[in-house]
């Protein structure tokens, strides 16, 4: 077991505060290869966190859509859904952003984003009044 680098710990704490989340790979890189994490995070800061023409709500919607299209891990999509909700983006606005994946990336990609969204916002669905193979 290695000693915790206080600079790396402070950095990951700052990342969590600035982003509203950290991913598992951020945590691992903070301990295992701190300089590479800093370099990667500098790019993210410039394109995503630094105030520019697009506001943070719009950037979150774009992240949610792009992660859905890329079929990212559900937890990664959900981290951006939670941040968007915290910023005041409505669940319906997030769903509409995810729905843009349908014509561009297809049903399979869309289902990944929809499932991530459903779990975060607690959305349910209607069941048919007849038995189907999927209900068995």
7 and 24 fall within a common domain: yes
Give me the pLDDT at residue 19, please.
Answer: 87
Structural domain containing residue 27: 1-50
87 and 70 fall within a common domain: yes
Give me the pLDDT at residue 132, please.
Answer: 74
Indicate the DSSP class of residue 100: T
Which residue blocks in the chain are alpha helix, DSSP H?
Answer: 6-19, 24-32, 34-44, 56-69, 74-86, 91-99, 101-105, 107-121
Domain count, the chain: 2
57 and 87 fall within a common domain: yes
Give me the pLDDT at residue 1, please.
Answer: 52
Look at phi and psi of residue 127 and say left if phi exceeds 0, alpha if psi is from -120 to 50, else beta.
beta
Length of the chain: 136
Residues 113-127 have pLDDT tens digits of: 999 999 999 999 998
As given in the structure block, the two tokens for residue 82 are 């939670």
Q: Which residue positions in the chain have pLDDT lower than 70? A: 1-2, 134-136
């Amino acid at each position: 077991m290695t000693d915790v680098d206080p600079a790396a710990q402070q950095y990951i704490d700052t990342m969590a505060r600035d982003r509203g989340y950290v991913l598992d790979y951020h945590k691992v890189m903070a301990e295992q290869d701190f300089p590479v994490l800093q370099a990667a995070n500098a790019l993210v800061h410039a394109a995503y966190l630094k105030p520019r023409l697009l506001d943070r709500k719009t950037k979150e919607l774009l992240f949610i859509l792009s992660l859905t299209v890329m079929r990212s891990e559900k937890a990664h999509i959900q981290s951006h859904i939670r941040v968007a909700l915290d910023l005041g983006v409505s669940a319906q606005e997030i769903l509409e952003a995810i729905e843009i994946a349908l014509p561009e990336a297809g049903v399979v990609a869309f289902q990944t984003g929809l499932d991530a969204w459903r779990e975060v916002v607690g959305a349910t669905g209607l069941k048919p009044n007849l038995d189907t193979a999927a209900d068995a």
